[in-house]
Amino acid sequence: MQPEFGKYLQQLRLDKGLSIRQLANLSKVSHSYLSQVENGVRGIPSPDVLKKLARPLGITYEELMQAAGYIEEIIDHGGYAEVLYRDGAGNLVDSVQKTKEMQDIDSKWANTAYRVAKELSPADRQQIDEYARLILEDRLKKNKK
């Protein structure tokens, strides 16, 4: 099982055209550890490590967790679902929340935290968003440069 997962990771990396060092830089996981995992010297990485690897490898965290052999359990919360992951010994290792239908969340400008006692007033909301917009514009300009 373990050597296969290493090979699987290696294949994902090669498909993305990344070297081990490039992946290490992108994911902030050490390159020596990555090469040990790929060669099956180390066991299945912890959820923390898989979480860091998912984005640079162009795959979702959930898919990686599945491939790594963590066991899924789904809890229905009505509007959304929560997936719990357990290791072979049955210990809870992580949870991921998902919308049930593929909601068009991208059309929303932001998902915000909330105060149970007081919802934010529209004026405050607007002020907060205005600042977020300014920072974003600034950042996009910097990215272009």
Partner 1 sequence: MKYNPRYYRLDIIPEHRLAIIDIRLKGFIDEYKIKKWPVDAVQLLKKIKKRRLIDLEYAFVPGCSTDFDAEASYYPVLNYYYIAINKNMVLRYPFRFSSDRRLNFTLAHEFGHIFLDHLIIPKELKTSSQKQIEEEEANEFAGRLLMPERLILTSNFVSQKEVAKSFNVSDQALWKRLNHLKRLDLLKAPVVNVCENCGNNQISPAAEFCPICGEWIVNKNKGVMVTYYNDGYEVNERSKVLQCPVCENEEMWDRGEFCRICGKVLINSCTYCETLAAGNSRYCELCGSETTFYQAKYLSDWQTAKARIEGREAQEDEWASLGAEISWDEIDIPPDDADEAPF
Inter-residue contact 27 to 56 (CB < 8 Å)? yes
Tokens of 13: 């990396």
Residues at the site binding partner 1, with contacts judged by CB under 8 A: 28, 48, 52, 75, 77-80, 84, 92-99, 103, 105-106, 108-116, 118, 120-121, 123-124, 127-128, 131-132, 134-136, 139
Least Å distance, CB 91 to partner 1, is 9
Least Å distance, CB 34 to partner 1, is 17
Q: Any idea which residue has 């809890």 for tokens?
A: 75
> Residue 67 or 96: which CB sits closer to partner 1?
96
Least Å distance, CB 33 to partner 1, is 15
> Residue 10 or 22: which CB sits closer to partner 1?
22
Question: Could you write out the three-class secondary structure of 10-72?
Answer: HHHHHHCCCCHHHHHHHHCCCHHHHHHHHCCCCCCCCHHHHHHHHCCCCCCHHHHHHHCCCEE
> Residue 59 or 93: which CB sits closer to partner 1?
93
Least Å distance, CB 44 to partner 1, is 16
33 vs 6: CA distance, rounded Å? 11
Inter-residue contact 3 to 40 (CB < 8 Å)? yes
With residue 44 as reference, give the H or E element that holds it.
none
> Residue 17 or 143: which CB sits closer to partner 1?
143
Least Å distance, CB 135 to partner 1, is 5
